[in-house]
A and B are shown apart, each in its own frame.
Chain A
Amino acid sequence: MKRRFYFWLLMTMVWFINGREVLGQEKSPFLVSAAAQGDHQMNMSDQKNGGGFEHVHALAIDAAGRAIFLGTHVGLFRSDDGGRSWQKVALSAKQSSFDVMAVTPDPKEPKTIFIATHEAGVFKSTDGGMTWKESNTGLGGPDVHGLAIDPNDGKLHALVRDKGDAIYRSTNGGGKWTRVDDGPGGEVKVLTSVNVPTGMGGIFLYAGTAEGLQRNPDCF
């Protein structure tokens, strides 16, 4: 009888200890589902040691001057407090993370933002970054290394690498892309339309490359 009492006492203790662990784990499913929804909050230690972002490709401030977007190897992140804390932005229900190469806010439409990805082309948001749609019709390949918007007329230039390697232009906000030029050779990190007149009726495109900064009238 005494041995049975100690047996059940032991079992109760085991249950209690395991129960505590389950209670401790109850937070985990919440964190996992939050991350799956793209609401993963980067804490300061993640940012401090850089472990959360892996590798950063792009930084942009929305046209309203409020939200900051960070394009990284592990996705798009957004900060609404000047870069102190970051939340991961969900781009697609199909895939949780993209390698974001460029972030390009429309200077005239504060809620319109374009991003370029390494594996899935261009995405567009028209609600300030809440929802995104792929915007790739006519684009030669999925690996977009630069995305520039003309501040005067909203014309877009996308630089595609590997498959379909070239510069593509869209004059309808990313609805349709047309190949225009080979573009600068070698590795390209950033592509920007700069409102400096060429003297020939257009403005300049600047490209940050492995060989330095290059510029050409409107297109390369």
Chain B
Amino acid sequence: MGGLPTNRTVNGFAVDSTNPKTMYVAMRDGLFKSTDAGNSWKNVGNDLKNLAAVAVNSKNSSEVYVVTADGKIFTSADGGVKWKSQR
């Protein structure tokens, strides 16, 4: 599972149900995305840190939500490329 920080806690995990090889990992270090069932990973949403969990909307899989450990929500409408704070 290359591309994920090693020996770091995976706090959150979510899968695109329409394409289950696409998945997301939420960590303190940020958000990571894989499109090959977890064999390789890329950091997405560079400014996102201290993440507790991630979710993908099963009705619209490009819509991704993350939440920080203290409860701040961020959303992406393009599969994790661009993010905005949900306030």
| Chain A residues proximal to chain B, CB less than 8 Å | 44, 47-50, 52-61, 63-65, 68, 70-72, 82-84, 107, 151, 187, 189-190, 192, 194-196, 204, 206, 208-213, 215
The digit string for B41-63, where 1 denotes a CB below 8 A from any CB of A, is: 00000000000111111111001
Within 8 A of A (CB), among B1-56: 1, 4, 6-15, 17, 20-21, 23, 25, 37-38, 52-56
- A-B pair count, CB < 8 Å, reads 124
Contacts of A72 in B (CB 8 A): 71
* Contact flag A215-B71 (CB < 8 Å), given A107-B17, A196-B20: no
| Chain B residues proximal to chain A, CB less than 8 Å | 1, 4, 6-15, 17, 20-21, 23, 25, 37-38, 52-60, 63, 65-73, 75, 86-87
| CB pair B71 A50 closer than 8 Å | yes
| CB pair A208 B60 closer than 8 Å | no
Q: Which one of B7, B9, B17, B25 contacts A151 once the chains associate, using CB atoms below 8 Å?
A: B17
Interface SS of chain B: loop
Q: Closest Cβ of chain A: how far from B71's Cβ, in Å? A: 4
Q: Closest Cβ of chain A: how far from B19's Cβ, in Å? A: 10
| CB pair A83 B86 closer than 8 Å | yes
| CB pair B57 A61 closer than 8 Å | yes
